Amino acid sequence: MKKKTYVIRPSELSYICYHCSYLKHNYALENRGISAGITGQLDSMQKIYFLGDVKKIDHIIPDGEVIDPDFKNESFISKELKDNKQRSFRIKGKGDALIKFKDKTFGVIDYKTSKFKDKNGEDYSLDLKIKVNEYEPQLHAYSLMYSNLEKDENTLKENDKGTKMGWKKITIETRVKEKINKIKEIEISKTSLLGVVFVYPEEIIEGNRLNVEFSHSFQQVEHNPDKFMKLITQYIDNLEQDNVPIIPEKCKDIKKQQHCYMHSFFFDEKKLVRIQR
């Protein structure tokens, strides 16, 4: 099925499952899971901690300032972009952090509460490389989005959650103006660095409260926009197939699956004909 414009979220480009992405974009069938409050709190604390001097993240990064691109914990959306086959798409999401470098270029950073080394001293480099590669498309998507943020008021009104929830017109207009002002602060012109900051708990510090010591590691990601655009083109190729891609073998194993949780249990392609695309 072909759509006028595909709206793609950066997170769906890590651990890609073409079966799930097809059902999401063509049939609005998606397993969003349940967000744990404690995870959100940890994310907020990480973002606050690393604000300011970029050397907090790693001393090897050029001088710059880490800024918070957040606007009321809501997503931004890019202008209409074109893949290598001239098909329209937008990127929609909210990144963790941006870096303003002194040379006027920018960095895009994502924080992951995830293991980045082996505590027993064994070699963990291969596992870490796999993780970094999995997050690479996500970072490129954020870079593309923040380089092409949508500023058209009518488009922003259409995408504002207040419009969908029936809020007053004046409220939506105020929100859109505030968002445009935020966009002027965080829009980027040239990306010079992409990176993942892995944060992981090390040990409990004894005391009257439960204090946990965290360590972190910065891993730079190669900035390759051409490679990313090839991925986006392949991704949209999949969305425009005539038939639903089969469930990957790795997702049929309930002990290893990363996607297809709901589809593995009840998916029946024949029933899709009853659903309006």
216 vs 188, 201, 213, CA distance in Å? 26, 9, 10
Q: How would you class 210 by CB atoms within 10 Å of its CB: exposed for 0-12, middle for 13-18, buried for 19 or more? A: exposed
15 vs 83, 130, 135, CA distance in Å? 20, 11, 8
Give residues with Cβ within 8 angstroms of 197, minimum separation 6: 46, 50, 57, 109, 110, 111, 112, 216, 217, 218, 219
Q: Determine the pLDDT at residue 223.
A: 95
Buried b (16+ CB within 10 A) or exposed e, 45-78: ebbeebeeebeebeeebeebebeebbbeeeebbb
Secondary structure E strands in the chain: 5-8, 52-53, 64-67, 76-77, 81-82, 88-93, 97-101, 106-113, 191-205, 211-221
DSSP label at 244?
P
* Tokens 């907090």, residue located: 56
Q: Determine the pLDDT at residue 273.
A: 65
Q: Determine the pLDDT at residue 132.
A: 93
Q: Determine the pLDDT at residue 38.
A: 72
User: CB–CB of 105/192 below 8 Å?
Assistant: yes
Give the pair of three-digit tokens for residue 125.
């480099």
Q: Determine the pLDDT at residue 34.
A: 63
Closest CA to 32 of 224, 259, 274: 259
> Residue length, the chain?
277
**Amino acid at residue number 244:** V
State the pTM of this model.
Answer: 0.91
What does the alpha-carbon distance between residue 124 and residue 174 come to, in Å, rounded to a whole number? 49
Using CA atoms in the order 42, 133, 2, 87, what is the torsion angle rounded to 10 degrees?
110
First-last CA distance in the chain? 8
Q: Determine the pLDDT at residue 165.
A: 92
* Tokens 């923040």, residue located: 146
Q: Determine the pLDDT at residue 135.
A: 95
Domains of the chain: 5-149+187-274 (3.90.320)
**Amino acid at residue number 197:** V
Q: Determine the pLDDT at residue 179.
A: 95
Give the pair of three-digit tokens for residue 225.
């926009």
DSSP 203-215: EEEPSSS-EEEEE
Q: Determine the pLDDT at residue 257.
A: 67
* Tokens 């966009």, residue located: 183
Q: Can you give the pLDDT of all 277 residues of the chain as single tens digits?
A: 566 899 999 999 988 889 989 999 998 888 776 665 677 788 888 899 999 999 999 999 999 999 999 998 899 999 999 999 999 999 999 999 999 999 999 999 999 988 888 878 888 999 999 999 999 999 999 999 999 999 999 999 999 999 989 999 999 999 999 999 999 999 999 999 999 999 988 888 877 788 888 899 999 999 999 999 999 999 999 999 988 898 888 777 777 666 777 777 777 777 776 565 5
